[in-house]
Amino acid sequence: MIYRYDFRYTLAQITVSIPLRLNFRKMVFTGKKENVSKDRPIIYAPNHRNALIDALMVVFSSHYRKQIVFLARADIFKKKFVAWLLKGMRIMPVFRIRDGKDNLDKNSEIFDNAARILRKNNPIALFPEARHNPKQSLLPIQKAVPRIILPTEASADFQLRSQIIPVSIYYRDMFAFLSDAYVTFGTPIEVADYKDIYNENPVLAINQLRQELENRLKSMVVNIWNDDFYDEYCHAIDWNGDRIAREKFPERKDGFLQAALYIVRKLDELYENDRGEFDQKTAGFRQAYALLKENGLNSKDRIGKISSVRHLFARYGALILSAPVAFFGFLNGIFPILLNKKLTGLFKDKQFIPSARYASGLLFIPIFDLIQSLLVGAVTKDWLMALGYFILMPLTFYFALYWRKWLKTARRDSKVRRFKKQHPDTWKRVLRLTRL
């Protein structure tokens, strides 16, 4: 049964955890010790922005020793081998209306299985938005979570003491490699609190629990609901996030996430209470972005942090000195790079690119590392050298990826410095317009 231990899950967890960590510059987890019980039935309810990466984040960040069971959309189970693999990774299908009305009846069996899993005190994870959303916003929360948990509790007279854990997953730059990720486990929702309402009116209890879960997630997730000004909100976060994190949240390891939440709420308050100032502020954001674009810059450039000539000289010097190591890393990783480009080019939807990049790195780097190491051993007849190559290839390749990121950052900072020097008045104007 799926609620029992499965070796495929353990093998997958060990295999994917290290590459996932290497995929990000920084991963910050908060709230798991305070809010996640090891002794009670739990449903994790995270927002869903980044396809496969979101699920891996929950597995990686959870301190549960038990294996989490995920519920995922049914269309990915069409091929038998994939279905076998997914089941081994403790993933069960959930059918949607687009999968055909006849298939919706199968959800009853799926939900019954989920109930048995919870009664065995095993954790479940379910994305309550029911679909991906790459934007920094929260889609309407669906009823799947309360439809599973309330009847399960009712069957035990609400004595299971189950909890729903709202989870916020935030990526500073979802599409960038070596970016920052923040996972927050929120205060649990006690399902037993809905006992009286459910016994009197199950439909009302389901709706109220769904609404509470949505409210909890809205308080945790960076939720830019105002589509007409979506870009302006995002630019405001880019321009002000680091400064506000330092000023208002210096002691928090998730300071940038808290700063992003603060910026969105501040703009929302202006929109609701002072539309004139809001329009003036967002118009200023648009002007600033246009000025930056005219000078070959964008909202992610550090326009408020000008690097000195000495600092830039030292950075370029370090890049030049370390270039041979980076070149070695890129040269020996050329085939994984080309295959990654080919694979990511197959996806029209950008939100699947980070997952495809992660999967290609997980598969292709070890494969080509092994093949190339065997070739080195076969050509040189020196298997000690082959072993050294086997160790150095992935290390230098990963260094090369960081080196490329450092080079891009140095070049952007140089461009910002030239912008300030050549157009000082425009630079000052941009600083004024971008400040929140």
Residues 94 and 60 in one domain: yes
In a shared domain, residues 282 and 420: no
Which uninterrupted H or E stretch holds 431?
helix 424-434
In a domain, 1, yes or no: no
Q: Which domain holds residue 383?
A: 309-434
Domain membership of residue 302 (yes or no) is: no
| Among 181, 197, 220, residue at a domain's last position | 220
Residue 74 near residue 64 (C-beta atoms within 8 A): no
| Dist. CA 378–CA 375, nearest whole Å | 5
Whether residue 156 is contained in a domain is answered as yes
Q: Are residues 270 and 367 in the same domain?
A: no
Q: What pLDDT, in 10s, does the model give residues 243-268?
A: 999 999 999 999 999 999 999 999 99
Q: What length is written for the chain?
A: 436
Claim to verify: residue 101 and residue 198 sit in the same structural domain: yes
Number of domains in the chain: 3
User: Angle, nearest 10°, between helix axes 424-434 and 230-248?
Assistant: 90
* Residue 45 to residue 130: CA distance in whole angstroms: 11
Query: Do 336 and 365 meet the contact criterion of CB atoms below 8 Å apart?
Result: yes
CA 271 to chain centre: 28
CB 122 within 8 A of CB 1: no
- Return the exposure string of 151-185: e unless at least 16 CB atoms fall within 10 Å of the residue's CB, then b: ebbbeeebebebbbbbbbbbbbebeebbbbbbbbb
Q: Where a domain ends, among 270, 294, 318?
A: 294
Within a 10 A sphere around the Cβ of 407, how many other Cβ atoms?
15
Q: Looking at 294, 327, 346, which one is the last position of a domain?
A: 294
Residue 267: predicted pLDDT: 97
Q: In this predicted structure, what is the pLDDT of residue 96?
A: 58
Q: Give the whole-angstrom CA distance, residue 137 versus residue 131.
A: 13
Query: What local confidence, expressed as pLDDT, does residue 6 receive?
Result: 61
Instruction: Write out pLDDT tens, residues 16-56.
Output: 778 888 889 899 999 988 999 888 889 999 999 887 788 88
Q: Is 321 in the same domain as 205? A: no
How many whole angstroms separate alpha carbon 92 and alpha carbon 46?
Answer: 17
Cα–chain-centroid distance for residue 374?
A: 36
Q: Are residues 201 and 267 in the same domain?
A: no
Does 177 map to a domain?
yes
**So what's the pLDDT on residue 62?**
65
Q: What is the pLDDT of residue 363?
A: 81
Residues 214 and 251 in one domain: no
Low-confidence ranges of the chain (pLDDT < 50): 1
Same domain for 216 and 231, yes or no, is no
Domain membership of residue 299 (yes or no) is: no
* Cα distance between the two ends of the chain: 54
In a domain, 338, yes or no: yes
Let me know whether 70 and 193 are in one domain.
yes
Please indicate, yes or no, whether residues 163 and 97 belong to a single structural domain of this protein: yes
Amino acid code (one letter) for 397: F
- Check whether residue 260 and residue 337 sit in a common domain: no
Contacting residues for 37 by C-beta, under 8 A, at least 6 apart: 163, 188
Residue 301 in domain: no
The rounded distance, in Å, linking the Cα atoms of 397 and 361 is 11
pLDDT for position 118: 82
Dist. CA 258–CA 238, nearest whole Å: 13
Structural domain contains residue 201? yes
236 and 359: one domain? Answer: no
Query: What does residue 242 show for φ and ψ, rounded to 5 degrees?
Result: -65, -45
Provide the pLDDT for residue 264.
97
